[in-house]
Amino acid sequence: MTENTALVHCVGITKYFGGVQALDSFSIDLHPGEIVALVGDNGAGKSTFVKILSGIYPPDDGEIWIGDAKVENLNPGRARALGIETVYQHLSLADNLGAAANVMLGQEPLRFRIGPLRVIDEKQALAEAQRRIGEVGASLDDYAIPVRSLSGGQRQAVAIARALVKANRLIMFDEPTAALGVRQTKAALDLIQRVAGQGVAVIIISHNLDDVFAVADRVVALRQGQTTLDSPLAGTDREEIVACMMGLSFQR
C-alpha cells in the first residue's frame, strides 16, 4: 500500500438480510478531508453501509479498497487498525467512567508494567485526554465525573475525541445530531468540520438537510440500497436531494 493514501474506494457493495436487499451494488469513493453526506429515507441502507465499512457486517458482494490495497474479511478490529472509526447516535460511551477514562480506554499510558500488572500513568492520561477533547473544541470542568452526567453535546465531544484517537483515515457519523439541541448541534457540526480539516475522510448520515448543507462537500443519496445522487453540494439543491431520496423524477 502506498503511504498516506487515505482514500477509501467501495465498489458494488451488496447486502441482503434474508429476503431484504439493504444494499444493491452501492459504490462510493471517499477522499481525505472531504465530508460526504449520506442521505436517504428510513431503510435506504445507510446504516448498513456504515456497519459494513466498520467491519460489523460482511458484504455479500462487492469490494472495499483502501488506497491500492483490497481489504478482505474486514472485522471491527481490522477496521479500527485501518484507521476507520464510527460515532453512532447512541454513543457507546462507558457511562460510569469519566471523560478522560473514556477517551483513553484501552490506550492508557503506562507508568510501568510488571508481568500482567499494568500501572497507568494517570497524570499523563488526564493531560492526553484533555488535549484530545480540547482538539475537538470542547473543554470540561471535570474529566473524572461519570460521563452520564455530561450534556449531550459534551458526550458527543468525548465520543468524537475517542474515535479520533484512532481514526486517521475515515470517520463515520451515523445521525450524530439527532439527539442534540440547536447549540449542541452546531458544536457537533463544528467538530465534524474540524475533523475533516485534519485530513480524515468523513461520512455524515443525517435526516436533517440543514446539517447536510452546513457541512457537506458532497451528497450521496441512497434509495432502496441504490445510489440516486452523487454530487458536489454546490452542484445540487434541496429539491433535487429530496427528489432523489424519494425516488421521484427531477427536472431542473
* Site of interaction with ligand ATP (CB under 6 A): 17, 20, 22, 40, 42-48
Q: Which is nearer to Mg ion, 33 or 247 (CB)?
A: 247
Q: Is 99 exposed, middle or buried (0-12, 13-18, 19+ CB in 10 A)?
A: buried
Interface with Mg ion, residue 47, by CB under 5 A: yes
Sign of CA dihedral 23, 67, 72, 198: negative
Q: How far is the CB of 43 from ligand ATP (least distance, A)?
A: 4
Q: How far is the CB of 221 from Mg ion (least distance, A)?
A: 14
Q: Which is nearer to ligand ATP, 22 or 158 (CB)?
A: 22
Q: Which is nearer to ligand ATP, 132 or 218 (CB)?
A: 218
Q: Which is nearer to ligand ATP, 9 or 223 (CB)?
A: 223
Phi/psi at 13 (5° precision): -70, 125
- Please tell me the distance from the alpha carbon of residue 222 to that of residue 161, in angstroms, as a whole number: 29
Q: Which is nearer to ligand ATP, 113 or 238 (CB)?
A: 238
Q: How far is the CB of 173 from ligand ATP (least distance, A)?
A: 13
Interface with Mg ion, residue 206, by CB under 5 A: no
Q: How far is the CB of 55 from Mg ion (least distance, A)?
A: 17
Choose one: 20-28, 39-47, 187-195, 213-221; the region binding Mg ion (CB under 5 A). Answer: 39-47
The listed partner (ligand ATP, Mg ion, none) that binds 79, CB under 5 to 8 Å by sort, is: none
The listed partner (ligand ATP, Mg ion, none) that binds 223, CB under 5 to 8 Å by sort, is: none
| Residue 40 contacts residue 245 (beta carbons within 8 Å) | yes
Q: How many helices (H) and strands (E) does the chain have?
A: 8, 12
Q: Which spans of this chain sit near Mg ion (rule: CB under 5 A)?
A: 47
